[in-house]
Amino acid sequence: MESFDVVIIGSGPGGYVAAIRSAQLGLRTAIIEKDKELGGTCLNIGCIPSKALLSSSHHYAFAKTEAAKHGIRIDNVALDLPTMLTRKDKVVKALTGGVRGLMKLNKVSTFQGTGMITAPGKVAVQGAEGVAQEIEAKHIIIATGSVVVELPSMKFDGDVIVSSTEALSFPEVPKKLLVIGGGAIGLEMGSVWSRLGSEVTVVEFLPRIALGFDLELATALQKALTAQGMRFHLGTKVGEVKVENRRATATATKGDEQLTFGADKVLVSVGRRAFAEGVGADKIGVELDDRKRIKVDEHFRTNVKGVYAIGDVIAGPMLAHKAEEEGIACVEMIAGKAGHVNYNVIPGVIYTHPELAGVGITEDFAKEKGMKVRVGKFPFRANGRALAAEDVDGFVKFVADAENDRIIGAHIMSPAASDLISECVAVMEFGGSAEDLGRTVHAHPTLSEAVKEAALSVNKSAIHIGNR
């Protein structure tokens, strides 16, 4: 029987990153993945293919509606959807192949099959051919991720009522797409198909979109997406979706009003749930919480000695970078080092155009809790680089502790918000103040100058806008 120091079940961003770090630390490491490709949800059916389509559809929309403003005439812009989808698949293949290469490079043993813990220290790998192989491990990390939430009144049929996975590969642009849930998936995939010509309606149960993000920015994003052609019904609950002759009819209630939506495709994006089934957690008595997530302590240890869990399968935001950091911290602690994840500074991003990014405390949360904060803002319409690019929609907002000026929240809506937020995260990680960031030299002309200016505006010293 092969024996390892660390065996990781699941090769998503949590699992594969943990495997690399584990091997770097000199631990004999193995990873088990039930799917043919490594990389998990993120690389195969999540972050990467969605961003590939967001990128392609953005170019298409630019060519159709924005290029002329720059003095570029593009006649007869036409969509070649098969090529767009093939490119997306190629990107995924390059990255999943890359992960396989990294496993080899780091001498991580890879097993294909379903991993099941049969006893502490023992994992059976059930391959596709039905042959089970047992391996031994001093430490077992469960990194089995999450799966889509299915609602009983709108069960997935893989054709008309679908999840994000099918929405990454619609063979043609649906004439009408109904999106149920105005969260990250609904807004990103809704944007893709709206840009490609679909009539997209988003129905959201809450009175706002993008829960978790700053309300003012989320409202601004909704306005921007509405201007791009997407329709929104907030505070609206879909009761049921019926399918007849491959056409869906959804009935919904908005207060006292009854609404009916017809659609060719219905994307149900109402969240994901932790997936700990079939991994043997129940067999060895690993405790789950009330949402069926694996319970862990601050060392990612479950209640069973030698068994750990990281990523989407435990509590916290379901984000690839959160899973990665947990993977690294978990194996570092296994190796006797001081691993740590700072949960106060995990950024979140929605990759629409403009993008929405946020980290830390929002202004609305601070108000609700009666916290003493100062807020600084700066709009991209006053930023030279944004004007040069003719892409000015959005602003930066900082929330700083009123007593010591420390930044406790940063929120950005802009074309490159996903990258701009990193600077804010770094400053927050080091406990920096708005003045620290505001006095840091930023290259000119860059979008990042809006970040600097917003930080200056916390103390009413922004240069390129009036300070009230």
> What residues are labeled active site?
444
Closest to ligand NAI by CB, 153 vs 344, is 153
- Assess 183 for contact with ligand NAI (CB under 6 A): yes
> In this chain, which of 203, 225, 267, 328 binds ligand NAI, going by CB under 6 A?
203
Position among 7, 318, 357, 437 found at the interface with ligand NAI (CB under 6 A):
318
Member of 143, 177, 350, 421 binding ligand NAI (CB under 6 A) = 350
Cis amide prior to 354 (ω within 30 degrees): yes
Does 349 interact with ligand NAI (rule: CB under 6 A)? yes
Residue 325 makes contact with ligand NAI by CB under 6 A:
no
Among ligand FAD, ligand NAI, none, the one that 33 touches (CB under a kind-dependent 5 to 8 A) is ligand FAD
Q: Which residues in the 123-162 window bind ligand NAI by CB under 6 A?
A: none
Q: In which residue are the tokens 């889509």 written?
A: 148
Region at 229 (left for phi over 0; alpha for psi -120 to 50; beta for the rest): left
Give the three-class secondary structure for 338: coil
144 binds, among ligand NAI, ligand FAD, none (CB under 5 to 8 A by kind): ligand FAD
Beta carbon of residue 417, minimum distance to ligand NAI (angstroms, whole number):
11
From ligand NAI, ligand FAD, none, interface partner of 200 (C-beta below 5 to 8 A by class): none
Which of residues 178 and 382 has its CB atom nearest to ligand FAD in the complex? 178
- C-alpha–C-alpha distance, residues 209 and 200, integer Å: 15
CB 209 within 8 A of CB 191: no
- 264/198 Cα distance (integer angstroms): 10
If the CB atoms of residues 273 and 406 are measured against ligand FAD, the closer one turns out to be 273
Exposed, middle or buried, 419 (CB in 10 Å: 0-12/13-18/19+)?
middle
Site string for ligand NAI, 245-274 (x = CB under 6 A): ------------------------xxxx--
Q: Shortest distance, CB of residue 118 to ligand FAD, whole angstroms?
A: 12
| 221 lies in the site for ligand NAI, by CB under 6 A | no
Q: Are 213 and 362 in contact (CB under 8 A)?
A: yes
Sign of the CA dihedral running 377, 66, 64, 87? negative
Measured from the CB atom, the residue of 164 and 383 that comes closer to ligand NAI is 164
Instruction: Tell me whether residue 323 or residue 331 sits nearer to ligand NAI (CB atom).
Output: 323
**How far apart, in whole angstroms, are the C-alpha atoms of residue 222 and residue 228?**
10
- When CB distances are held under 5 to 8 angstroms depending on the partner's kind, the choice from ligand NAI, ligand FAD, none that residue 360 binds is none
Near ligand NAI by CB under 6 A: residue from 9, 20, 30, 184: 184
Segment near ligand NAI (CB under 6 A); pick from 198-206, 277-285, 368-376, 384-392: 198-206
Q: Token digits for 206?
A: 């809450």
Nearest distance, CB of residue 406 and ligand FAD, angstroms: 26
Q: Is 412 in the site for ligand NAI (CB under 6 A)?
A: no
Choose the contact partner of 203 out of ligand NAI, ligand FAD, none; CB within 5 to 8 A by kind.
ligand NAI
Q: Rounded distance, CA 299 to CA 296, Å? A: 7
Q: DSSP E strands: which ranges in 275-354?
A: 307-309, 348-350
Pairing mode, if any, of strands 199-203 and 176-180? Answer: parallel
Q: How far is the CB of 176 from ligand FAD (least distance, A)?
A: 21
- Tell me the C-alpha to C-alpha distance, in Å, between residue 204 and each of 109, 216, 268, 299: 44, 17, 11, 37
Q: Least distance (Å) from ligand NAI to the CB of residue 237?
A: 5
Q: Kindly give the residue spans of alpha helices, DSSP state H, lying in 179-299.
A: 184-195, 215-227, 281-284
Dihedral, 170, 263, 211, 450 alpha carbons, nearest 10: 60
Q: Compute the distance between CA of residue 87 and CA of residue 94 in angstroms, rounded to an integer.
A: 11
Contact positions vs ligand FAD (CB under 6 A): 9-15, 32-35, 40-42, 46-47, 50, 114-115, 143-146, 164, 185, 275, 278-279, 311-312, 318-321, 323, 351
Q: Which three-class secondary structure state does DSSP give residue 233?
A: strand
How many residues sit close enough to ligand NAI to count as binding (CB under 6 A)?
Answer: 25
**Distances in Å between the alpha carbon of 185 and those of 165, 291, 296, 310?**
10, 21, 27, 22
Residues that bind ligand NAI (CB under 6 A): 180-186, 188, 203-206, 211, 237-238, 269-272, 317-319, 349-351
